[in-house]
Chains A and B, each alone.
Chain A
Amino acid sequence: MITLPSYLFISFVLFICGLVVMIARKNIVAIMLGIELILNAAALNFAAYTKFINQNLDGHIISLFIIVIAAAEAAVGLAIVIRFYQIKESIHIDDATQLQS
């Protein structure tokens, strides 16, 4: 029997992996992968909590919504990345320095 702490541990590891990817990688597509990891960690948490703590369907429904919205976000994000690539011929985050910050 897999218990709640194991699920939480796995999702925490996923979350940390996502954070590390976002901070360490300079490739924009890799950063978007990191975002997906974090979203999946959250979805796993919702599903685990709803299975073990409260027996209603709220958490499952939120997980489904997270999956759908993550897909939408990735679609728009990748479209913008392709635009950026066509203009700059690079998907390195350090090349996005046109705007002063």
Chain B
Amino acid sequence: MQLNYLANLSHYVPELIVCLTMVMTMIVEATYENGEKSKPLMYWCSIVGLFCAFVVLCLSLNQPPTTAFFNAVVIDPFSTLMKIIMVLGTLGAIWLSHSSNDIYNPVKPEFIMLGLGVLVGGMLLASANNMLTLYLGIETLSILSYALASLRKNDERSSEAGLKYSLYGGISAGLMLFGMSHMFGVLGTIQFNGMAQNIANLTQNEILILIPSFLLFFVGIGYKIACVPFHMWSPDVYEGSPLPVTAFFSIVPKMAGIAVLLRITISFFSNDGVMQYSWLGLLQVIAALTMTVGNISAINQRSIKRMLAFSSIGHAGFMMLGAIVLGVDGVRSVLFYGIGYMFMTLAAFAITSFIQNKYGNDHFERFSGLIYRKPMMAIAMTIIMFSLAGIPPFSGFVAKFHILSAIIKQGYMTLAIIAAINSVISLYYYLKVVRLMVFKEKEDDGEIIGFSFVNQSVIVMLVIPVVVLGLFWAKIMAVADGAKLFIQ
């Protein structure tokens, strides 16, 4: 029995590497003397650890799907690809935290440790196969995120962000658990495949209990994705948190939430029936609302960080459309969207971060005339904005195109029209940045220290995939196509 358990660990190498890296960073942190400012060894330790995890994940992409730990977690290409996205996102956020002044120097080690912990939670969530692992993943993700949000502990805004995050998080986790308990009672098991089998044949009364339970259950996932009725925390938390934390939040917890939403939708609701009808109806309404509210609220923002926060709500709505498709088309376009979104978000936040380091705030006007000062960065930002808005030669366009074609194939014309209108709305505020950078006079001539040669080349390296994925998308799409869900 025990030996069986240990043998299962061989499927769980990436998570183990991340956990060990977390422990290693703690040990390394303890070796520094008090008051020592820069801790390069810690930074490199975490980078190397995450890189190892990335390589192992890439190598295991083509392996046959299995389950581990008595069916508690499932390791399939879908979860592996999601984990790759999350690992890369964490890697980028740690690099960003290293060069950002937004987190005070002495607490940077905490960012690395807590960030790695959140990553472990996200990986658990991406491969959850029963209700217990789902709950554990969501809570690992949330509890560490509360601490991350209030990382700048002497700052009023940061601790308020943490407070709001923890209150909303606690409430939604409680509601989700209450829904889950009734689902467990009616369906009789916590294993996803058993629940899915029992969902196919229900009596009238059981459906009457299950529908509100699933509604409550959705609160928990919806809060992680930040979709509309549960999005109120998101702009405040994103604004109050330090910038690297914001970049991290808009990638890792969001992708983990999307992954679990896809898995739940496809494993539970693939059969026709009342349950499928109501769940898909709920998702359609919420996806449409999420896109619209996110994009319309983004229009009137002064701070780039807050604008990116609202636009990430809009993108989450777009990714939810992929879950409605209920099939291979939806899964692969969401994965492709996620890969592109990760690169675009990281690069946009990186450029914003360096501007903010220089001026102390990140209002739109700080970007004016950037093209005369740092042409390379201005071009990079322009490409990212075009790609986020979904303009042809970039990856954002290909991703949006595939999601739209998938939902049109399923016959959801209204949703497709709403999504297309939202793309047009988002164009307005994305192009505002471009207009300021190109057509406005520059404000001052001061050197922006953050844009050193190394940092500029990292940003260019983040932008190259955005362009390449837009032009030669077939290869990555084939990888995403192979990333099938394994329901066991």
Contact = CB atoms under 8 A, between A and B. Distances in A.
Which of A18, A42, A53, A100 gathers the greatest number of chain B CB atoms within 10 Å? A42
Interface string B171-199: 10111011011101100111000000000
Contact of A45 (B131, B143, B178, B188): B178
Nearest to A39: B174
Contact of B173 (A15, A73, A79, A99): A73
A65 B147 contact: no
Interface of B: 131-132, 135-136, 139, 142-143, 146-147, 150, 153-154, 156-157, 159-164, 166-167, 169-171, 173-175, 177-178, 180-182, 184-185, 188-190, 232, 235-236, 239-240
A24 B261 CA distance: 32
A69 B163 contact: no
B143 A87 contact: no
Contacts of A32: 167, 170
Contacts of A73: 139, 142-143, 166, 169-170, 173
B353 to A, nearest CB: 19
A101 B190 CA distance: 38
Contacts of B139: 69, 72-73
Contact of B178 (A38, A58, A76, A96): A38
B159 A35 contact: no
B236 A42 contact: no
A72 B169 CA distance: 13
Interface residues of A, number: 44
Given A83-B159, A101-B232, A58 B190 contact: yes
Contact of B132 (A42, A61, A87, A96): A61
Chain B CB count within 10 A is highest, among A45, A50, A59, for A45
Contacts of B240: 98-99
10 contacts: A38-B175, A45-B184, A49-B184, A58-B190, A62-B132, A65-B132, A76-B147, A77-B146, A80-B150, A101-B236
A35 B163 contact: no
A22 to B, nearest CB: 6
Contacts of B135: 62, 65-66, 69
B162 A80 contact: yes
A98 B156 contact: yes
A69 to B, nearest CB: 5
B177 A84 contact: no
Contacts of B164: 96, 99
Contacts of B190: 58, 62
Nearest to B233: A101
* Contact residues of B: prevailing secondary structure: helix
B303 to A, nearest CB: 10
Given A31-B167, A45-B182, A39 B177 contact: yes
A18 to B, nearest CB: 7
B274 to A, nearest CB: 22
A37 B240 CA distance: 29
B184 to A, nearest CB: 6
A17 interface: no
A99 B184 contact: no
Given A76-B146, A101-B235, A41 B178 contact: yes
Given A69-B136, A101-B235, A28 B163 contact: yes
Nearest to A58: B190
Contact of B161 (A35, A45, A79, A99): A99
A31 B240 CA distance: 21
A80 B180 contact: no
Contacts of A15: 178
A77 B166 contact: yes
B147 A42 contact: no
A101 B139 CA distance: 25
Interface in A81-101: 81, 83-84, 87-88, 93, 96, 98-101
A80 B178 CA distance: 25
**Residue picked from A43, A54, A73, A79, most chain B C-beta under 10 Å:** A73
| A-B pairs, 10 with minimum CB distance | A38-B174, A45-B181, A42-B177, A49-B185, A35-B170, A99-B236, A77-B166, A83-B159, A80-B162, A42-B178
Interface in A25-63: 28, 31-32, 35, 38-39, 41-43, 45-46, 48-50, 53-54, 58-59, 61-62
Interface in A1-34: 11, 15, 18, 22, 28, 31-32
A83 B162 contact: yes
Contacts of B181: 11, 42-43, 45-46, 49
Contacts of B239: 99-100
Contacts of B167: 28, 31-32, 35, 77, 93
A99 B190 CA distance: 40
A5 B189 CA distance: 19
Contact of B171 (A35, A49, A81): A35
A96 B165 CA distance: 12
A86 to B, nearest CB: 9
Nearest to A72: B143
Given A42-B180, A80-B162, A98 B185 contact: no
